[in-house]
Every structure is written in C-alpha cells, then in structure tokens.
Amino acid sequence: MKDFAGNSSVAIDTTLLGNNLVAQDVRKYGTAASIAVVHEGYISIVPVYNPDQRSKYIPCIPMGTRPSRVTTSVMQVLWGTLRNKKVFVVVSTIGVQVFDEDGRDCHYEYSCLDSGEKISHFARGLSIVQEEYLCVGNSNGSIFVLETPEVPGELNLTERKLAHKKAITDLTTDNSSESLLVSADESGSVVLWKVNCEGLLRLLDIEDYGFPCTSVKLWNNLIIAGYGSGHIRTFDTNTGRCRTEVAAHARWITAIDVATERGYVLSVGEDSFAKVWKIPSTEDVRDFQPYLDNVCEGFSPSRREIPQHVGLHFLRLNLRQS
C-alpha cells in the first residue's frame, strides 16, 4: 500500500477484490484517521497518521459465535454514520454486519438472502444515505434498504428490490438533500435511485457497454463509473446521457474515488497504474483530462511481477493545487 504523496508505504495482504480500500472520517477531520482493507475473511485496519495507534486484524465471523477457523469471504467494508452513531459496516458471505466504529463488537447482522437463492450467496455493495438508510446489494442483483430507527435498536428492513439481473458490484451516494443512490452490476448496468421511507424509486437506467461496471461515484449531478474495459464514463443524473468517455486503463478498473472539494478523480486498475483526472468546473465536461498520470506504477524489478491495485482513497479532503 502506497501513500501517493510519498509519505509512507505499508505491506498488507489483500484479496483481489474491487473497491478494496476505505478511509475513516475524511469528511469530519479533513484527513483520514485509518484505512481498512480486506484479506479473505479478515479485515486489516491501519492508522494513517497517528503513531500511537496500532493496526488491527479483525476476523469476520457470524454474530455470537466463536468458530475454530474463519470460513467467511468478506466482499466490502465501509465506515459511516447511522443516526449520529459512528459505525463500521461489513458485507460478506454472511450478509451485512454493523460493528461499532473500531470494528470490535458486532451489534447487528442480516443475511440479505433472497428466498430460493443458491448457497453461493454473498452481499456486495454498501452505501449509507442521509445517515438513515443502509443500502446493501447482493449476488442475486437485489438491493436491501435497512432503516435506522430513531430509538436505538435493530435496523428495520424497508424494502428488498430485485434491482439488477446480475450481481451488484457497487453502490454509492453523495449524501445530498435529494437522497440519491447509484447501483452497478456485473453486466455493466447502472441505475439511479431515490431513497425514502417507502424504499427505492427508480429514476433512470443507463445502458451497459458490454463490460462489468466495477466502481461508481456520484458528484455534482454526474455519475462517474469505472468499467472492466478500462474506461471511465460520466453520465448526467438528469438525462442519463453519457457526457464523457476516456480509455483510462489498459486493463480492468478496480476502483475509483472522487475528491469532492477539487473535482479530482482517482482511478486504479489491473494494469498496475494509478491515475488522477481533473473534471472541469464548467458544465461542458467533454474535456475530461489527466491531472497526474502514472501516479503509482507497480512494477517490481526484483520480483519480476506486476501487482494488481485493488483499492484507493483520497486521504485528505482539501488537496493542494499545483
């Protein structure tokens, strides 16, 4: 793992999963407190800048059990806030689990299993909308909307909707007052939703491009999507029209992130490169340009292998402009 500012490099075992890195409290403090990555059935939580904190290696097991070995496959994790309470959320072959902020104690678990679904079930795709709704995708293409009650207790299932024909790959929101949610799947389909107390309202569908849509973000009325073809595309949230298309990577894009204060997009792919892109501030975003190219090239001459980058995140809210 590399801090692209050149500050540090840490060796951590990771699973080859898309979107396999999340940061904690970037919006609250302006700088990430910790990062988390997944390795099989375990989660590594690593402090970013605090030398007094130690890294943690947390097993993902069914709530209330103590198995002799971990057989769970973790798919994705997320730090967030539900009703003013900081939580750490995990989706896996168990379903969805909600932990306290440090990831030690599990307080809620839900299978996210569709009736009649095969045993090879998993949950994947996580987003918290307006600190009230926890949205979770699964391998059957369904999205579960879990509402946080005003009185502390278990989450309530507001809706389960079969939203996609293929497995969900990613969910995202921008936490605007419009309560929007974007979902993507393994066929490349992207859907924009509105979330409320009644569940999911489908606003628009975006055509697939023949490759899985692996990572999505929502920013300033734009859906920003990364694909297995190596392309990044932006779509207008009002019309669904493709505004920009760029061949960003030579291989599968594994993750993208957006620096919301500056309009930068960070992308990584299986070609071992990480790149920073600048979205123009004007309405005409056809000139989607590289801001920093080849930020991190992963070739290791000593081992003669090309590591595959599987996750990324901007660690600072206000990035320096050059």
Q: What is the pLDDT of residues 104-122, one digit of tens each?
A: 899 999 999 886 655 568 9
- 205 domain-assigned: yes
* Residue 77: strand pairing partners: 90
Provide the pLDDT for residue 318: 60
Select from 180, 278, 285, 185 the least CA-distant residue to 241: 285
Q: What is the pLDDT of residue 321?
A: 45
Tokens of 179: 């309560």
Q: Which two tokens mark 234? A: 């932006």
- The pLDDT, as a whole number, for residue 295 is 47
**pLDDT of 4 above 60:** no
Q: How confident is residue 30, by pLDDT bands cut at 50, 70 and 90?
A: low
- DSSP secondary structure letters along 222-243: EEEEEETTSEEEEEETTT--EE
Backbone angles phi and psi of 90, in degrees to 5: -125, 135
Q: Is residue 5 part of a domain?
A: no
Taking the C-alpha atoms of residue 92 and residue 106, their distance in angstroms, rounded to an integer, is 14
Q: Helix, strand, or coil here: 13?
A: coil
Give percent above pLDDT 90 in the chain: 53
Supply 105's token pair.
Answer: 């104690």
Question: Could you tell me the CATH number of the domain that includes residue 99?
Answer: 2.130.10.10
**What integer pLDDT is reported at residue 33 of this predicted model?**
81
pLDDT at 234 over 50: yes
C-alpha closest to that of 189 among 132, 227, 135, 246: 227
The two tokens of residue 130 are 């307006």
pLDDT > 90? residue 76: yes
3 state DSSP class of 27: helix
- Provide mean pLDDT across the span 181-193: 98
| pLDDT confidence of residue 312 | 79
SS (H, E, C) 170-226: EEECCCCCCCEEEEEECCCCEEEEEEECCEEEEEEEECCCCCCEEEEEEECCEEEEE
- Comparing 38 with 10, the larger pLDDT belongs to 38
Whether 73 has a pLDDT exceeding 80, the answer reads: yes
**Rounded average pLDDT over 314-321:** 62
In a domain, 6, yes or no: no
CA–CA distance, 211 with 125 (Å, rounded to integer): 18
Report whether 159 contacts 198 (CB < 8 A). Answer: yes
For the ranges 19-23, 190-194, 279-283, 296-300, the lowest mean pLDDT is seen at 296-300
The parent domain of residue 258 ranges over 74-297
Structure tokens belonging to residue 3: 């801090």
pLDDT at res. 230: 96
Q: Is 309 exposed, middle or buried (0-12, 13-18, 19+ CB in 10 A)?
A: buried
Q: Is residue 109 part of a domain?
A: yes
Cα separations in angstroms, 212 against 2, 5, 132, 168: 27, 31, 29, 10
- Is the predicted pLDDT of residue 294 greater than 70, yes or no? no
Whether 86 is covered by a domain: the verdict is yes
Predicted confidence at residue 210, as pLDDT, reads 95
Q: Model's pTM, two decimal places? A: 0.87
d(Cα 279, Cα 208) in Å, to the nearest integer?
A: 23
| Amino acid type, 85 | K
Q: Does residue 245 lie within any of the structural domains? A: yes
Average pLDDT of the chain?
A: 84
Tens digits of residue pLDDT in 208-218 = 999 999 999 99
Identify the H or E element spanning 34: strand 34-39
Residue 304: partners with Cβ closer than 8 Å, 6 or more residues away: none
pLDDT in tens, 85-108: 999 999 999 999 999 998 989 999
Q: Structurally, how many domains does the chain consist of?
A: 1
Which of 37-51, 110-124, 160-174, 243-257 has the lowest average pLDDT? Answer: 110-124
Within-domain flag for 35: no
User: Does 65 map to a domain?
Assistant: no
Q: Which residue type does 152 have?
A: P
